[in-house]
Chains A and B, each alone.
Chain A
Amino acid sequence: MFDSVTFKALHSALDGLAARQRAVANNIANVNTPGYQAQRVSFEDALAESVRRGDGVVVARTQLSLEPTRQDGSNVNLDTETLSNIDTVLRYQFATQAMDGQFSSIRTALRWS
């Protein structure tokens, strides 16, 4: 029940989104740090592939952004980071609601007697 693909996939998604939220916070914190390279967290493609295989467990990968840098050697884009930040909050809420739905079905099943 708790090791179903859905549970594992939602768990991986929540972990990945939380990691992205950290990376974005770190990028915005270093928006004026000379030489700082933005971090990018990816897990969606790997997660889709893993779910297709019937597994659902992935670990988010963090890579450095290869976008062109400004004159001070930093490549943080405040607008893209802000959008990614908002997007991640919404996706996280989406995933928590789905997780909540899973638990709520289990609770319904438990009540049935």
Chain B
Amino acid sequence: MTFDAIGIAGSALSVNRKWLDAISDNIANVNTARRTDEAAFQARYLQVEAGEGTSGVYVKADLYGSAEGRLSYQPGHPLADENGMVRMPDIDMAEQMSALIIAQRAYAANAAVVDRARETYLAGLQIGRS
């Protein structure tokens, strides 16, 4: 179709929103402690792929980070084992923050594309008006 540009940018808006959701979920759980006999909180990552031809972008799968996490010595913690250890998630805060900025910028770039696609569409409607 001639005016698919809005839909293409729309698919990217939703992919970037899902990415932002995953990142904020990861950052929110950066200090979520678990028992040592449980799996740590696993950071969520999105695997994205380009659609066929010009059909935008879509999320192919959710991928998860290490379930092992890292052990932390916190003897006063209610979840600590007999050695005073708890399992913390293995989330790289710097990586999450830079991903957050990339996702946010990509979202803004695609929102601008929606605007310009709309401008093109409106120009098309002017044919035969004057």
A contact set with B: CB distance below 8 Å: 14-15, 17-18, 21-26, 28-33, 36, 39, 78, 82, 85-86, 88-89, 92-93, 96-97, 99-100, 103-104
Nearest Cβ on chain A to B54's Cβ, whole angstroms: 4
Which residues of B lie under 8 Å from residue A78 when comparing CB positions? Answer: 109
- CB closest residue in chain B, given A22: B54
Q: A25 to B6, alpha carbons, bound, how many Å? A: 8
Can you list 11 residue pairs at the A/B interface with Cβ under 8 Å? A21-B5, A25-B113, A26-B50, A26-B56, A28-B110, A32-B48, A32-B102, A93-B119, A93-B120, A96-B124, A100-B126
- Structural contact, A89 and B126, CB atoms closer than 8 A: no
Question: In angstroms, how far is the closest chain B Cβ from the Cβ of A15?
Answer: 8
With A21-B120, A39-B54, A96-B126: A82-B9 Cβ-Cβ less than 8 Å: no
We find that the number of chain B residues with CB closer than 8 angstroms to chain A is 36
**Interface SS of A by simple majority:** helix
User: How far does the alpha carbon of A29 sit from the alpha carbon of B113 in the complex, in Å?
Assistant: 9
Contact of B54 among A23, A33, A89, A92 (CB under 8 A): A23
Residues on B close to A: CB < 8 A? 2-6, 8-9, 11-12, 15, 48-51, 54-57, 102-103, 106, 109-110, 112-113, 116-117, 119-120, 123-124, 126-130
CB closest chain-B residue, reference A41: B54
Contact for A31 among B109, B126, B129, CB less than 8 A: B109
Q: B130: which A residues are within 8 A, CB to CB?
A: 100, 104
Asked if A85 contacts B54 (CB within 8 A), the reply is: no
* Known contacts A29-B9, A33-B48, then 10 further A-B pairs from the complex at CB < 8 Å, ordered by chain A residue: A18-B3, A25-B56, A26-B51, A26-B56, A28-B109, A29-B15, A29-B110, A30-B12, A93-B123, A103-B127
